[in-house]
């Protein structure tokens, strides 16, 4: 019997392997064996695995994933609401179906004023899809709540973050927030590292306001700045005290092109 509200993958075989065996093998090479700890949140990239998989693997090698992973990523297109929650069903990858925690999704939709149950925003989007296999690999029993965030005004993002923390408070011990974002896009490695250092400092400080200010004033092309801003406010509300950079890398390490790189960061929040 087909699963209702099943989101099918759109970048399998492009951003990551399309077969289960190949995907498991690649994830095994990326997810670094480390002491797993309970974190309130994390940030990881969402490019093709050949470029950003090792950085994402550094994060997921450290996360002791609880029952539910709330995924916040950007919309790279205009479809759907600007705080779009996939409300029910499951997301399919070559590793199988990742179920949506419908109770937590409903609590977010009810509690966050700008949140809408909206599948349209997710259908063409890769920013969360490429993260789901890491979740499945680390904890096959974990449920997800995918949220696609658009370019809302700063105060709207901060308000959403505050409301998200309130909605998640009853589930705090069983939920982790994972932000999906790449960093600077298509600049020299020196420029990317300089700009991304400024943004990462604000991430580590849980400074949502400062992050958006740095992104705007230094022209940092961090595609997930919007979901990150909302998530940082939510993490503060859930009791996080700071972040820690786990790994920073650029696409140049895979491509050999250091004139036009994309930056990638893995950050934990506790």
How far, in Å, CA of 179 to CA of 142, rounded?
16
Q: What is the pLDDT of residues 191-204, one digit of tens each?
A: 999 999 999 999 99
Per-residue pLDDT of the chain (270 residues), as tens digits, is 668 899 999 999 999 999 999 999 999 999 987 789 999 999 999 999 999 999 999 999 999 999 999 999 999 988 899 999 999 999 999 999 999 999 999 999 999 999 999 999 999 999 999 999 999 999 999 999 999 999 999 999 999 999 999 999 999 999 999 999 999 999 999 999 999 999 999 999 999 999 999 999 999 999 999 999 999 999 999 999 999 999 999 999 999 999 999 999 999 999
Q: Cα(118)–Cα(80) distance, rounded to whole angstroms?
A: 7
For residue 236, CA distances in Å to 4, 40, 42, 73 come to 35, 10, 13, 18
pLDDT value, residue 79: 87
**pLDDT tens digits for range 118-136:** 999 999 999 999 999 999 9
Distance CA 270, CA 201 (A): 15
**Domains parsed from the chain with CATH numbers:** 6-269 (3.40.830.10)
The string of DSSP codes covering 106-169 is HHHHHH-TT-EE-STTTTT--TTTTTHHHHHHH-TT-EEEEEEE----HHHHHHHHHHHHHHHG
């Amino acid at each position: 019997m087909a699963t209702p509200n099943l989101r099918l993958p759109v970048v399998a075989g492009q951003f990551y392997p399309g077969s289960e065996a190949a995907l498991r093998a690649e994830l095994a090479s990326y997810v670094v064996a480390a002491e797993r700890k309970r974190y309130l949140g994390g940030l990881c990239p969402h490019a093709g695995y050949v470029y950003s998989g090792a950085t994402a693997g550094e994060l997921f090698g450290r996360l002791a994933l609880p029952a539910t992973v709330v995924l916040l990523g950007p919309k790279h297109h205009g479809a759907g609401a600007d705080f779009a929650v996939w409300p029910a069903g499951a997301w399919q990858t070559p590793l199988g179906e990742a179920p949506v925690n419908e109770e937590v999704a409903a609590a977010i939709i009810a509690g966050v004023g700008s949140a809408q149950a909206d599948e349209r925003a997710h259908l063409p989007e890769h920013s969360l899809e490429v993260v789901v296999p890491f979740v499945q690999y680390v904890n096959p029993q974990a449920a997800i709540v995918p949220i696609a965030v658009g370019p809302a005004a700063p105060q709207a993002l901060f308000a959403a973050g505050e409301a998200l923390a309130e909605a998640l408070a009853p589930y705090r011990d069983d939920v982790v927030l994972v932000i999906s974002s790449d960093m600077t896009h298509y600049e020299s490695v020196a420029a990317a590292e300089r700009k991304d250092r400024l943004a990462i400092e604000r991430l580590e400080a849980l400074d949502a306001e400062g992050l958006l200010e740095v992104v705007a004033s230094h022209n940092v092309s961090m595609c997930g700045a919007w979901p990150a801003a909302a998530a940082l406010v939510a993490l503060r509300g859930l009791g996080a005290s700071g972040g820690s950079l786990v790994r920073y890398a650029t696409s140049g390490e895979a491509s050999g092109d250091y004139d036009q790189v994309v930056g990638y960061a893995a950050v934990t929040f506790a």
